[in-house]
Each structure stands twice: as structure tokens, then as C-alpha cells.
Amino acid sequence: MGGQRPWWEQIVLIAWRFMKQFVHIVTGKSEVERIVLLEHVGGVEGTRRLRHSLERSKKLDGVFKTMITGNPQTSSAVEEIKRIKALSQINEEGAQRLSTYVGNICDVTRFIQDVERLQSEPYSSENPAHEAKLEELWNLATDSRPREGGRISREWNRIGFQGKDPASDFRGGGVHALNQLLYFSSTRTGAVRQQLEDLGNAEKWHPWACTGINITSHVTSMVKDRLFDNQLYGLDRETQFQRLNEIYSDIFESFHVDWIQSNPKTVMDFPPVFKKSVEQARRQYKESSSPI
């Protein structure tokens, strides 16, 4: 993680370490110890604090890396932190909290790997489950409008696929992109139909479904950059996916507002508006995930 920080973060980091040393001397406790001994903070807040402490610590940087890559092992990471920070004498509650917080961070690492697996699962026309999801998407988005030509149809363009067969558009986003479009359409059906109606105006048209596939790609890169960690700690897998899909839906909706407000003349106005909107979202989540 180190080495790529901009200079102002370097300064903050140096000040942080200085403070840490100072507090360590006064209280006789290391930062990690203080974090896990705090009773009043909940699991999410404790995990957040521990993560930022690990991220910024020179000695614990290596342990932290094992927690956010590959196949993270909670118990060995806990032992390693205890060893480096000489925490063998810590009380039971403290040890318990340390283990929970480390476990939360490792779990998000595994969640991200699940997301990547879904993203690399290609859409297959031979898979009945995939096909059913696609049909469901069509029905939700168009209020079950009959489609001329059946499965291979020009009409897929109505909801913003490029050709006669949506399968090819899912190349990069895989089943994950379809799941997210489907989640958005089933939980916010009214908003989705309104969006598609707005895009019916030729000047405002953009390929809605393809836009969604691109949003999936951005949201996936954000979760990999650990911008959503605080929203994901301590949840079961299903709820984590749901949270991620909510974030996706929020970004999709706020992009739509930006797009309409930008008063586009053609779809060629799309790239800068989209870029700005996505960057704005990234900034927002980055701010809410940073320590101070």
C-alpha cells in the first residue's frame, strides 16, 4: 500500500505515527490494543478503526496484505498481530473483538472474490437460469410487453441492448451484470420504467442496459478498491450482495439525473457526463471510507 501515497497523505501519515507514539507512551497501550479494548464502539466502527490502523502501520503492513489478498486466514492473522504487538496478555473481550474485526476484513476479501467469480461467469444462452433472468428483466422493464421475433429480436434495443441477442453485451460483466440489472429493475421498477421512458426521447437516448453493464464494471472496481468495506462488515453473503446492488442502483439513479440535467443533444454527449457522474460517486464513497 505504501509508496504510492501522495505527499499530503505522507505528511498526515507521519503526523499520525507521531501521535500514535505519543499516546502509546502516555497510556502504555498500542493503538491496536486501545481499539480492541474500547467497549462502546460497535463491530463495524471497531473494524473500521482497526483497518485504518493496520493500513498505516509499518509493522503490520505485511499482515494487512495477507488479509486483503489471496486466501485470508483470520486465525493466523490474529496470531500474527498479537505477536507483533505483544498482545498475548490481552483480556478475553479484547481478544474476541480483535478476532471479530480481523474476521470482518478477511470476509470482505472473500466477498470480493465471489463478486469476481460471478463477473467472470459468462452469460450462456444454454443456461436456463440465465435465460430466465433475462426474460424477467425484460418483463420488469417493459411491463411484460410482447416481443416480436421471440428470443432473438431487434426489440431488445428497447431496453438498450446493442444487437438482436443480449448475450454478447454481457461479455465483460458476466452474470453479475445481469444480476444487478435485474435487482435494480425488481426493487425499483417504477424508477426503471421512468428512466426508459425518459430515454424514449431521441436526444436523450442511451443504451440503458449497456449503461448498466458499464456501471457494474465501475462498482466492481470500487468494491475491489475497498471503498464499500464499512457497508459490508459483519453481514452474511446475501446481505452483502444486496448492499452492493443497492449501491449500484443508487449510482444508476444519480447518473440518470445527471444525464437528463446535462441536456444532451445526442448519445455522443454521453462519455463526459458518465465519467463525471461515476467519478463523483467514487469520490463520495472514498470520503466516507477514509479515516478522518
Partner 1 sequence: MGLLTILRKVKQKEKEMRLLVLGMDNAGKTSIVKRLNGDDVRDVSPTLGFSIISIKLKDYNLNFWDVGGQKTIRTYWKNYFEQTDGIIWVVDCADHSRLEGCSEELYKLLDEERLAGASLLVLANKQDLPDALSPKEVEEVLDLKGAASSVQRHWRVEGCSALNPGDESVNGNDNLRSGVEWLIEDIAARVFMYD
Site of interaction with partner 1 (CB under 8 A): 119-120, 157, 162-163, 168-169, 171-173, 177, 205-207, 210-211, 213-214, 216-217, 220, 266-271, 274
Query: What's the rounded Cα separation, in Å, for the pair 185 and 160?
Result: 14
The nearest distance, CB 122 to partner 1, in angstroms, is 11
Q: Mark 95-108 as b/e (b = at least 16 C-beta within 10 Å).
A: bebbbbbbbbbbbb
Of residues 150, 219, 153, 157, the one with CA closest to residue 184: 219
The nearest distance, CB 93 to partner 1, in angstroms, is 43
| Residue 46 vs 207, nearer CB to partner 1 | 207
Q: How many other C-beta atoms can be found within 10 angstroms of the C-beta atom of residue 228?
A: 22
Q: What angle do CA 115, 211, 277 make, to 5 degrees?
A: 90
The nearest distance, CB 216 to partner 1, in angstroms, is 8
Query: Contact, 205 vs 199, CB < 8 A?
Result: yes
| Residue 101 vs 123, nearer CB to partner 1 | 123
DSSP state of 234: T
| Residue 90 vs 210, nearer CB to partner 1 | 210
Query: Contact, 248 vs 285, CB < 8 A?
Result: no
Of residues 235, 221, 247, 222, the one with CA closest to residue 103: 235
The nearest distance, CB 71 to partner 1, in angstroms, is 21
- Listed in sequence order, the DSSP H helices in the chain are 7-27, 31-37, 43-56, 61-68, 74-84, 92-119, 128-142, 174-187, 189-198, 208-224, 229-232, 237-261, 270-289
| Residue 104 vs 249, nearer CB to partner 1 | 249
| Residue 31 vs 169, nearer CB to partner 1 | 169
The nearest distance, CB 198 to partner 1, in angstroms, is 16
The nearest distance, CB 26 to partner 1, in angstroms, is 48
| Residue 90 vs 213, nearer CB to partner 1 | 213
Query: What's the rounded Cα separation, in Å, for the pair 78 and 190?
Result: 47
The nearest distance, CB 185 to partner 1, in angstroms, is 18
| Residue 176 vs 226, nearer CB to partner 1 | 176
The nearest distance, CB 219 to partner 1, in angstroms, is 12
Q: What is the CA radius of gyration of the chain?
A: 23
| Residue 51 vs 176, nearer CB to partner 1 | 176
Query: Contact, 113 vs 224, CB < 8 A?
Result: no
